């Protein structure tokens, strides 16, 4: 029998897991991604807040599979899929080509959703990539530099006002980190900024933060943020975002610093499959994560609409993608006797969110943790899943340094032409 061709699209947690599980197999594996690196997304907010550098949380995909001759890594952008021909059309540097496959694994992740208002992205960047993190970093620290120059004029208010849209884990983590940096750490560096004028707002559309957590932990997170000086805006709706600021309800908050953490949607590539999708654009898959009538195509991670045994949709977190990647790799390894009746069952190992230095909330196997214990659990889990020994060591050293010194990383502003200040 000819060796099977396994094509994996996406170098995130799911795609990397599948490739790693198959790297010793008899198959020919091709992994394509539109960037040359795997990024540890849960720590992107720390790059945005200058606590970590991009290289601390990212690793070149080629380095991960160095010496693995059966794993080919390509920097390509997949644009469409032909299910009948078993072919994926790709584009790189304006050169179009195609890649044929025997088994296709789509682990393409998600992108920001502005709920039909894509023009808002210009003023309210989200946080999905290193590029996003560096854009946010430039906006925040450029605002501080401008404020220092203005010397407390009427214009300073809009540069010292920050609005984070979305009260999920990303929004909460950003708000906590932003508060610590702006209200505690910049005093000695910016002599003409009065920290009492800094206004940090976290907006959520429902009646509590962290809706995926129990109410007790949500309440705990809110109290911690409020003690850090963050203003919580619950049950509020964004009506407009423009160069002047953000309109929430019938009030406008004038600001030059808006960060979007409110919604995700699946990648446009999935629409080319011409199969049923949910309201977020994710593919509705079979119980074994394949497409109906196409057992050669697997969808995992944020690209797949999957429910647990209780009928609750699985969250778009790394652990889901990793477990699905292992499940799919196991099915592919059993290709000669593919178990079409196999069912993916997610094992929830816990949910964590950090709020700041030694502050976090965690839910693990029904047990609730807050404060330092939760933060230590959060730190251990994130270090555990970082790829590369160098990354783990660097992050541990910088976290220890920040914990005892209260001094974040080097706050470099890298000028980016696409950023709006």
Q: What is the pLDDT of residues 116-173, one digit of tens each?
A: 999 999 999 999 999 999 999 999 999 999 999 887 677 899 999 999 999 999 999 9
Q: How confident is the model at residue 399 (pLDDT cuts 50, 70, 90)?
A: confident
At residue 419 the predicted structure's pLDDT band, cuts being 50, 70 and 90, is low
Query: In this predicted model, what pLDDT tens digit does every residue of 272-290 receive, in sequence order?
Result: 999 999 998 999 999 999 9
Q: CA angle, 195 as apex, 191 and 196 as ends, to 5°?
A: 135
What token pair was written down for 286? 């079979």
Over range 295-301, report the average pLDDT.
96
**Residue 415's pLDDT is what?**
64
Mean pLDDT, the chain, integer:
90
C-alpha dihedral, 141 to 143 to 148 to 149, nearest 10°: 120
Instruction: Indicate whether 396 belongs to any domain.
Output: no
Least confident range from 206-215, 344-353, 394-403: namely 394-403
CATH number (domain holding residue 95): 3.50.50.60
Same domain, 269 and 185: no
158 and 243 both lie in a single domain: yes
- Going by the DSSP 8-state scheme, the letter that residue 337 receives in this structure is G
pLDDT band at 384 (very low <50, low <70, confident <90, very high): confident
- Reported as a pLDDT band with limits 50, 70 and 90, residue 235 is very high
Structural domain for 311, as ranges: 5-34+76-112+264-337
Pick from 262, 296, 311: which residue ends a domain? 262
Tell me, yes or no, whether 11 and 85 share the same domain: yes
Active-site choice (173, 180, 204, 286): 173
Per the listing, tokens 């997170």 go with 221
Same domain, 149 and 96: no
Q: What's 192's domain CATH number? A: 3.50.50.100
pLDDT at residue 392 in the model: 83
Closest CA to 299 of 350, 168, 278: 278
In a domain? residue 325:
yes
Coil, helix or strand for 8?
strand
138 in any annotated domain = yes
Based on the fold, state whether residues 207 and 314 are members of the same structural domain.
no
405 band by pLDDT with thresholds 50, 70 and 90: low
Encoding tokens for residue 132? 């996003």
Query: Is 215 labeled as catalytic in the residue annotation?
Result: no
Stretch 392-405: mean pLDDT: 77
Q: Would you say residue 177 has pLDDT above 80?
A: yes
Q: Does 92 share its domain with 176? A: no
User: How far apart (Å, rounded) are the C-alpha atoms in residues 85 and 173?
Assistant: 44
Whether 271 and 244 map to the same domain: the answer is no
Task: Using the Cα atoms of residue 339, residue 343, residue 348 and residue 353 in order, give the sign of their dihedral.
Answer: positive
Claim to verify: residue 313 and residue 206 sit in the same structural domain: no
What 388-397 contacts at long range (C-beta under 8 Å, 24+ apart), as own/partner pairs, is: 388/59, 388/63, 391/40, 391/56, 391/57, 391/59, 394/55, 394/56, 395/43, 395/52, 395/56, 395/57
Name the pLDDT band for 403 (thresholds 50, 70, 90).
low
Percent of the chain scored above 90 by pLDDT? 69
Q: 337, 360, 395 — which closes off a domain?
A: 337
Give the confidence band of 1 by pLDDT, cuts at 50, 70, 90: very low
Please count the structural domains in the chain.
2
**Whether residue 84 sits in one domain with residue 23:** yes
Tens-place pLDDT, residues 364-376: 988 999 999 999 9
Q: Are residues 258 and 326 in the same domain?
A: no
Binned at pLDDT 50, 70 and 90, residue 308 comes out as confident
Domain boundary among 210, 245, 262: 262
Same structural domain, 186 and 223: yes
Residue 304 has pLDDT above 70, yes or no: yes
Span 379-396, mean pLDDT?
Answer: 84
Residue 357 inside a domain? The answer is: no
């Amino acid at each position: 029998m000819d060796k099977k061709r396994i094509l994996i699209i996406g170098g995130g947690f799911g795609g990397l897991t599948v490739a790693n599980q198959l790297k010793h197999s008899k198959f020919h594996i091709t992994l394509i991604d539109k960037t040359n690196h795997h990024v540890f997304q849960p720590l992107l907010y720390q790059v945005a807040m200058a606590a970590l550098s991009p290289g601390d949380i990212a690793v070149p995909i080629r380095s991960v599979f160095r010496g693995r001759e059966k794993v080919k890594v390509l920097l390509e952008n997949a644009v469409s899929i032909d299910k009948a021909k078993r072919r994926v059309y790709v584009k790189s540097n304006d050169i179009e080509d195609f890649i044929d496959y025997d088994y296709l694994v789509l682990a393409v992740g998600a992108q920001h959703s502005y709920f039909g208002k894509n023009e808002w992205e210009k003023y309210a960047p989200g946080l999905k990539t290193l590029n996003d993190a560096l854009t946010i970093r430039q906006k925040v620290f450029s605002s501080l530099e401008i404020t220092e120059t203005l010397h407390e004029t009427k214009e300073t208010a809009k540069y010292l006002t920050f609005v984070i849209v979305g009260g999920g884990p990303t929004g909460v983590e950003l708000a906590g980190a932003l508060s610590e940096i702006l209200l505690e750490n910049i005093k000695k560096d910016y002599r003409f900024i009065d920290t009492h004028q800094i206004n940090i707002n976290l907006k959520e559309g429902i009646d509590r933060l962290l809706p995926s957590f129990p109410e007790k932990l949500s309440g705990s997170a809110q109290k911690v943020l409020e003690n850090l000086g963050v203003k919580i805006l619950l049950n509020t709706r964004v009506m407009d975002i423009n160069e002047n600021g953000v309109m929430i309800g019938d009030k406008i908050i004038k600001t030059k610093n808006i960060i979007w953490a409110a919604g995700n949607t699946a990648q446009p590539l999935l629409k080319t499959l011409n199969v049923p999708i949910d309201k977020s654009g994710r593919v509705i898959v079979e119980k074994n994560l394949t497409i109906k009538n196409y057992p050669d195509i697997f969808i995992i991670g944020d690209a797949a609409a999957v429910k647990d045994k209780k009928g609750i949709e699985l969250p778009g977190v790394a652990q889901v993608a990793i477990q699905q990647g292992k499940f799919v790799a196991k099915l592919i390894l059993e290709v000669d006797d593919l178990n079409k009746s196999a069912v993916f069952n997610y094992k929830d190992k816990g949910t964590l969110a950090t709020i700041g230095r030694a502050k976090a909330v965690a839910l693990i196997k029904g047990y609730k943790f807050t404060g330092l214990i939760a933060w230590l659990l959060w730190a251990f889990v994130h270090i555990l899943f970082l790829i590369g020994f160098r990354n783990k060591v660097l992050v541990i050293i910088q976290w220890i340094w920040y914990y005892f010194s209260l001094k974040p990383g080097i706050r470099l502003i890298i000028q980016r032409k696409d950023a709006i200040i």
